[in-house]
Structure 1
């Protein structure tokens, strides 16, 4: 009926109930579009609308809003959106000037491209961090290598490496959380074994372990001058992986040196790949421990693979968790191994692998 009043646009009238927060009552509001712009004409139009409301409903409306064309909210099919009009009225958003078409188009385009913009921002942030990480690494690597080559004592080399590894982790906001550190702070011979997930595993362990260790590395690294000098100055031991006779000799040699000052550290998987998961553990570390009757200390690394995967030169931000298990003494397994060295090595491997699998956060690929 209001739409039939002269001056009111037909099909552009909404009668709504709006909540009055002051009196906690419902207000009767008529919203109508008109082309009238003269104040006296608009006031006369309000009186006619109010009079018609009184005639039809027996009560006057609490408010009459006259809006310019296309201001009343509608669906795409042209139906009045009364709930949206009521919400807009209560929030004071009705009656404002219509936004230009180019502004409305801009909002539509922005809404459509916002997900792509978020992805682009994340990619740009990740690329910036990767460049920053490599700059920091190459600023620290040369002086670290030179100091390792020149320092006369292995203990001094290890102390220097620990400082530099922790500095690198700090500059890259690499959060390293260690549990069970006291298990690795042993004052007697031992063998530490860990899963291998990333290029940065060695750096992380140098920063986190409570005491120096002697890493066991593949003999192929001896071919490169830089790696050979650096690892040798760290006190690393090298083993042959492909020559069976040389590999057996290396195993006997490692068994003999397990009683030296620093414990041996093995990455028992032997290598790592891009694919997450714990692979079978090689027996060399466990045979050395069983033959020497020294405990095995399992170490589980979690998070390094996601920071720098195999085959990738794109480091990412992330947190690293290191879970160091209780020492596993071969003597405690005597009841099930009956003094057999091979059975003791298998039992040590199974116990250590169980701890690593429980804490590495990756599936079992054995």
Structure 2
């Protein structure tokens, strides 16, 4: 219980510390690059607060222009700060629509140009994938969690087709990103 309260307090403090400057500087940077930069710093702060070590392997295998669909497994809420805090380049992410309704966090996500997806409405989901393809065409890789949600067991779940449809639509490769060891950190549920 106390550990959960400390985690919530740390996440809340970091969200205010990095979210407010991201919101205030957003009008100066309509591309979303500055908001994403703040999201990366927020993630690194959370990793430090949680004493979560991250080791990155294989980044040299990315396409030189980094135009791709990054597909990552999703075992824990910790996966987000792990990816944002360790990938040393700009990218955009497709995230479930409900995250965009969270004050500060959702606002920064919108300002950064992240793409919301309504998984319950196929037509809206297709429009989101088209917006993601436009992000790729503008020079930014897009990150997708193809399982569609976090795993309840830590095991890899069946993939939804959206990431692969996006890669076809954008004409770019799919680059797998594997995250190991995050399941026990912030378990779903």
Report TM bin, short chain.
0.7 to 0.9
RMSD: 2.2
Task: Point out where structure 2 has 5 or more consecutive residues left out of the alignment.
Answer: none
Post-superposition shift, 1:184?
A: 4.0
1:111-130 aligned at under 5 Å gives the runs 129-130=3-4
Post-superposition shift, 1:257?
A: 3.6
Distance 1:288 1:235, change over 3 A: same
Partner of 1:137: 11
Post-superposition shift, 1:263?
A: 0.6
Post-superposition shift, 1:155?
A: 2.4
Post-superposition shift, 1:162?
A: 2.2
How many residue pairs match? The answer is 185
Q: Which has the higher strand share?
A: 1
Partner of 1:239: 117
Distance 1:257 1:179, change over 3 A: same
1:1-366 aligned at under 5 Å gives the runs 129-151=3-25, 152-153=28-29, 154-184=32-62, 186-311=64-189
Q: What secondary structure, in the 3-state scheme, does the structure 1 residue paired with 2:71 have?
A: strand
- Name the TM-score, length of structure 2 as normaliser: 0.85
Q: Residues 194 and 267 of structure 1 are in contact (CA less than 8 Å); yes or no, is this contact kept in structure 2?
A: yes
2-side partners of 1:269 and 1:156: how far apart?
29
Distance 1:292 1:134, change over 3 A: closer
2-side partners of 1:159 and 1:228: how far apart?
15
Q: Residues 258 and 289 of structure 1 are in contact (CA less than 8 Å); yes or no, is this contact kept in structure 2?
A: no
Higher relative contact order (CA 8 A, sep 6+): 2
The structure whose Rg is larger is: 1
Deviates more, 1:131-140 or 1:258-267: 131-140
Q: Residues 54 and 86 of structure 2 are in contact (CA less than 8 Å); yes or no, is this contact kept in structure 1?
A: yes
Post-superposition shift, 1:131?
A: 4.5
Q: Residues 19 and 38 of structure 2 are in contact (CA less than 8 Å); yes or no, is this contact kept in structure 1?
A: no
1-side partners of 2:98 and 2:12: how far apart?
23
Distance 1:256 1:138, change over 3 A: closer
